[in-house]
Amino acid sequence: MKLAVFVSDYRLTADTLERLTSDKLGIIFVSNGVYHATIKEKGNSSALLKKNAQFYVLHDDLETRGLGGSDIAENVKLVSYGELVELIFNDYEKLAWL
């Protein structure tokens, strides 16, 4: 199964995702979840970015919070709404929202 998980809350911990299993996992950061995609002080990153998954962050939500592409970790891909729709329809079979 190919699963995409929308993460919209910054308070979400990696423990929540540990219970999810799939052949291919995509994590899409939206709303306040975009803060997981950013590089923290002293170069540390969110524990979620250590998960074996492909990571995406919605450009508009990042920009709304005064952040840009240079603020995100290297393993996170910046996507537009159009690219997000393509991912949903072409790359993943199931969706979850956390």
Q: Report the mean per-residue pLDDT for the chain.
A: 89
In whole angstroms, give the CA distance from residue 51 to residue 42: 20
Q: Which of 4-8, 15-19, 64-68 has the lowest mean pLDDT?
A: 15-19
Tens digits of per-residue pLDDT, 60-90?
A: 999 999 999 889 999 999 999 999 999 999 9
Tell me how many domains the chain contains. Answer: 1
Q: Indicate the pTM of the whole model.
A: 0.91
d(CA 10, CA 46): 10
In whole angstroms, give the CA distance from residue 31 to residue 2: 23
The domain of 90 spans 2-97
CATH code for the domain of 20? 3.40.1260.10
Query: What per-residue confidence (pLDDT) applies to 15?
Result: 76
